[in-house]
Structure formats: structure tokens, C-alpha cells
Amino acid sequence: MASDSESSDSSMEAPKPSVFSRVLGANFRLEVLCGLTVALALVPEAVAFALAAGLPPDIGLNSAWIIAVFTAIFGGRPGMICGATGSLAVLVPGMVSQDHGKELLFYAVIIMGILEIILGLLSVGTLVKLIPVPVMIGFCNGLALVIGLAQISNFKDPAKLHAPEGRRLDAFHAFTDDVPFIQGKVGLFAGLITFLSFCVSMFLPKLSTRVPSALVAIIIGTAFEWAIARAAFHTETPIVGDIASKCDFPMLFWFNSNYPSPPAFNKELVLKVLPLSVTMAAVGLLESLMTLNLIDEITKTKGNPTRECLGQGLANLICGCFGGMGGCAMIGQSMINIGSGARSRLSSLSAGAFLLIIVLIAYPAIKQIPVSALVGVMFNVCYHTFEWSSLKLIFLAALPLKARERFFGKKTSTQQIRRMDALVILVVTLVTLFTDLATAVAVGMVISLFVFALETSNTIQVVAREAEQREGVKVYDVHGTLFFGSTSHFLELFDEEKDPEDVRLVFETGHVADFSAVQALNKLGERYGSLKKRLTLQQLMPKTHRVLSRAQGLLVEEITLSLDEEQSLPKEEAAVPAHLHIERIPSVDHSLLVEREHSKPSEAGSL
């Protein structure tokens, strides 16, 4: 009977997932429905991002579905939604406003894609884990402010706003240009529609998440425009149709009649668009990899940064060829998709396919949307992008301890970050407003690295083994990392005059990190050598051994390397410098050391 039950249990084992389910997802229906939901939410944001970039809405819509589809096809992170984004949209108005600006942008997107492919092949995506949290917070805050300030231009005279000189990269250009704001009843109703759209997109998710709040906000804003502003008060606010009147299926822009004479692709053109391409690639990959890490945490799965870079690059390369504005991962839409239960690339592919259908069929309806309704949706995006808790962290970090305890209590006073971390958040946010996101992140990284090097420069320790001293020999244990920031402090820890003739540095818990560290050891060896003493480096950690074996030709003759039988320098004896002293010692049996350490307490107890 037991054998029968075992055989029956084995026969009822769950079947292995098919290739179809592995590729498209275990729940086909759920993935497709999630894609449809995301596609509906993509429409207003794609249109709004295009307007923020100074481009007609059809470019934003076509870019969104191209990026979504081809990123999913070429191996983007399962469940992550990609499309036209605000972080890239705010970078391009300066280029778009030039002669042949749109064509130049398309070339910039093509080069952006090539750069992303190269960075993917170099596995640069794995370096995103090195970005400090304060830099990421400053990135989000700066992005929110830039997107928000870009919306101010939509309250200006549309006839002049969308002229070639109507937009610039400067976040504050709306307050300094000569384009007048819309006034009177038009301005009043535009403000009301914006406020209404913002409130709906902000508070509807608290009541229901079955329908995308951005879509409902656009519908209500459009209804208010046509049923109240126009029908009842005979007031017309700017609508999408005032900016673009048609939406064609994308084709290679070299053969598109909308761009009759695109500039030739040559060295001068590459140099002209390369700065924008580099910035777009850096910002796009940064936002995409941040989104990838966030989805990893939520789904308890591991994405592939290298594959994501390659997928993004190929998608942007195709997008640029078909006259698109480029794109990257969308944090908000990805959260909608993951929160709805999607876990495969099918949802991303479905979102792009459904968006294409919407663009081809529903564009006449999209033209009737008031621009102010899209602005309200964008303000909601800004609100959720900004890390509001960081304001409290910055404020508390700026206050002295007594002021924090007096006004906020002891519990709140302990919720503080370092002042340097608060400074990094503030600097990255402000630099974003005056330059761009990539420069801001670079500045934040430089500050963070400088502070880290400064704070760790004094952490290296050198401890003498007083109990194990033999006549004529002194042993130092080195603890910590010897690198460019700690070399000065390291050299101050020795007394060459008083030390005996044989000085040994034990690197069992120490690490030699870089060329500055090698030079510091050379200086120390020369100091001892000038006094007829010898410096020996022993018990080298694997990484330290690797650094010193590569730099053996740079070591001074006063230094001796003590290697056990398991360690070796290059096999070719000729490769070992003649002046380098090598001391061979038997390999240490670490198991005996462990047994000896464990035996000490019991021996003491027996006494």
C-alpha cells in the first residue's frame, strides 16, 4: 500500500512550467489585463511629457509604445514598464528649439541607445548599487521640481509658447522669458481644471484602484472644459489639438514627409548632439536601474542590470530611428503594474501594444483634452516623486541637539541623519534645477566619495604585539584599509628610530588598496632602510597579495615579502625583480589555530 501511495503521489507531481508560461507568464489573462490598465494610464503622461519637451503629443505617444514593446522584447526586467518619461523630457527643449531641432533630437536618441548598449556590454549597470541613498533622494526631489516647473509654461500664450523659441532647458525659463501668461477667464478656468485634475488623480486611489486615476482625471477635466468652460461660459482654454492635429503611424524619420530635409549624419552633427545623448543615457539608465532595484525589493526577485541596459539601448536606438523622443523605466507605471499582480514581460508588451491601438483609434478624442488637465496629472506625478520625508530629515540635521530635544522631544531628536548626508540631498536637488540630473548625480557622488575618504582616513590602525616580541624583532598588526586617504595617518603611526632592526607588518586583517598605499609602504621601507633596518610584509590577504604581486617591480629593495607555500609570484623567475627579497615560510594550518583558541578557556578552567 505504501508503494502504491508513493507511486500515486509521484504521478500527481506538479508539471514543469511550459516554455509558453515561462516566457509569457503563468497567468496570461492577468498579465494582459495589467498591460491594458497601464496603457490607459500611459496616455495622459505620454502626452504631458511630450508637451513638457516642446514636442507634439504624437511623438510622446509613439515613443511610449515603441519603448514599451521593444524593451520587453529585448529583455527588460519582467514587470517593469518603460516609456517616455519626464526625466528625459525636461532635458530636450533646448535642442528642440534649434533649427531642425526635432531631427537633431532623433539623432541624439539614436546615439543615446548606442551608448546604453556599450554601457550594458561593460556591465556598468551593476554600479548603481554604489549610489548612496542621499544622492537617490536628491535625484527624486530634483526631478520632481524640474517636472513641476516645466508645467508653468503651459499657462502661457500657446501661440508663442510653442514657437521655436518658446522653450529652453532652464527650469526657471517660464519666469524669465517674454511670453505672457494667459489671463482673465481663460486663466481662471485653466487653473480650475488643473486643480480639479490634480485632486482627482491624487485622491481617487484612496477610494478605488480599479481605474487609473490619471485617466479619470483627464476625462473629468475634459468634461469640465467642454460642458462648463466652453458651453456655459464661452471660454476656451488651450487643448491638445491646438498643438498637434494628427497622429501618424511612425516610420523612419529620414523618409517621413514631416521632416523633408533632415541634416546629414556626420562628425559635426555627432559632436553637436553628443552632450545631450550622454546626459540622456546617464539619466535614463539611472532612473531605470533605480526602478529595477525597487521592483527587486517588492517582488523578492532579482533583475539583471546588464540585460536592462542592453534592452533599453536597443529600444532607444529603434525609437530614435522612428522619430521618437526616447525613454526609460517609469517608476509610477511600474508600481501600478506590479501592484496589480503582473510579474512577466507579457504585461509590458501588452501595455505597448494596447497603447498603439489607442493611439491609432482614439487620437481624435485625445486632441480634445485640455492641456491644463494634463498639467494637473503632472503635478500629481511631481507630488509622488518628491521625497517629502527628506525635508524633515534636512531640517532636523540642521538643528543643534538641544534645539531638537526642546522643540521635538527626545524621540524625534534621534531620527536624524548626518549633516553631510543632508547636505548631499540639498546639493543634488539644487544642482538639478540649474544644470541637469546627470550632473547633479555626479556632484552628489563626488561629495559622498570625498566625505567617505575623509572619514575613513583615520580608521586604519597599527597595533604592536608586545607579548610576542623577540630580541631584534618587532611585529605590527595592521587593521583596516591602506588607501590614498589613509596613507598620511599610516606613516605617522611608526617610530623608526626606536624600532629594532627587523620590523614586520602583519596584514592578516589589513588591506593594501591602491598605488598610493604601495608608495606609502615604499616610504616606510626607505625610512627603515636609511637606519639599516628591514621592513617585512607578511600574512598577506588575497587581495593585498594580488595588488603587491602586480606592483612587485615598484617595491623598494628595503622591503621583504613574506609568502607562505600557497602564495606565489609570477611563475617566470625572470619576471621577479632582482632587488625584491622573498621570504618563504611554511603554510599555516588554520585548523590547529582554531583548536588552540577553543582549548584555552577549558585549560584555564581546569587549572
Instruction: List, run by run, the mean pLDDT of 10-residue segments along the chain (607 residues).
Output: 47 47 62 84 81 86 95 90 89 86 94 96 86 90 85 75 45 72 90 95 85 83 95 90 71 88 91 94 90 86 92 96 94 80 88 90 84 87 88 88 74 78 95 84 93 88 78 90 92 92 91 93 94 90 86 87 64 51 56 36 35
| 242 belongs to a structural domain | yes
Please check whether residue 328 is in contact with residue 285, taking contact to mean a CB–CB distance below 8 angstroms.
Answer: yes
User: By C-alpha distance, which of 125, 34, 46, 24 is closest to 330?
Assistant: 46
| 11 belongs to a structural domain | no
Q: For 452-552, where are the E strands, in sequence order? A: 461-464, 473-482, 502-512, 534-538
Question: Are 260 and 300 contained in the same domain?
Answer: yes
Pairing of strands 502-512, 581-585: unpaired
Q: What is the pLDDT of residue 163?
A: 42
Domain C-terminal end among 440, 455, 470: 455
Question: Are 196 and 278 contained in the same domain?
Answer: yes
Q: What is the pLDDT of residue 465?
A: 84
| 94 belongs to a structural domain | yes
DSSP classification of residue 395: H
Question: Are 264 and 397 contained in the same domain?
Answer: no
Give just the sign of the alpha carbon dihedral 337, 340, 341, 347. Answer: negative
- Domain containing 487 equals 461-606
Domain C-terminal end among 409, 427, 455: 455
| 152 belongs to a structural domain | yes
Q: What is the pLDDT of residue 116?
A: 96
Q: In what order do the strands lie in the sheet with 502-512?
A: 461-464, 473-482, 502-512, 534-538, 559-564, 581-585
At residue 399, the 3 state secondary structure works out as coil
Number of compact structural domains in the chain: 3
Question: How far is CA 469 from its chain centroid?
Answer: 52
In sequence order, what DSSP letters do the residues of 147-198 get, joined into one string?
Answer: HHHHGGGGGB-HHHHTSTTS--S-TTHHHHSSPPBP-HHHHHHHHHHHHHHH
Question: Are 531 and 556 contained in the same domain?
Answer: yes
Q: Compute the distance between CA of residue 354 and CA of residue 38 in angstroms, rounded to an integer.
A: 9
Cα 436–440–446 angle (5° rounding)? Answer: 150
Q: What is the pLDDT of residue 196?
A: 96
Question: Are 145 and 189 contained in the same domain?
Answer: yes
Question: Are 318 and 346 contained in the same domain?
Answer: yes
Domain C-terminal end among 348, 363, 385: 385
| 5 belongs to a structural domain | no
| 350 belongs to a structural domain | yes
Q: What is the pLDDT of residue 246?
A: 65
User: By C-alpha distance, which of 304, 282, 260 is closest to 77?
Assistant: 304
Question: Are 445 and 495 contained in the same domain?
Answer: no
Q: Compute the distance between CA of residue 194 and CA of residue 182 in angstroms, rounded to an integer.
A: 14
Q: What is the pLDDT of residue 388?
A: 93
Question: Are 337 and 353 contained in the same domain?
Answer: yes
Give just the sign of the alpha carbon dihedral 519, 524, 527, 532. Answer: negative
Question: Are 413 and 466 contained in the same domain?
Answer: no
Question: Are 258 and 281 contained in the same domain?
Answer: yes
Q: Compute the distance between CA of residue 377 and CA of residue 194 in angstroms, rounded to an integer.
A: 8
Question: Are 517 and 479 contained in the same domain?
Answer: yes
Residue 596: CATH number of its domain? 3.30.750.24
Q: What is the pLDDT of residue 170?
A: 57
| 330 belongs to a structural domain | yes
Question: Are 489 and 551 contained in the same domain?
Answer: yes
Please check whether residue 195 is in contact with residue 132, taking contact to mean a CB–CB distance below 8 angstroms.
Answer: no
Helices 267-299 and 133-150, axial angle in degrees (round to 10):
120
Tens of pLDDT, residue by residue over 41-77, are: 788 778 878 887 888 888 999 999 999 999 999 988 9
Could you give the dihedral angle defined by the CA atoms of residues 183, 185, 188 and 193, in that order, rounded to the nearest 10 degrees?
Answer: -120
| 14 belongs to a structural domain | no
Percent helix, percent strand, percent coil in the chain, to nearest 5: 65, 10, 30
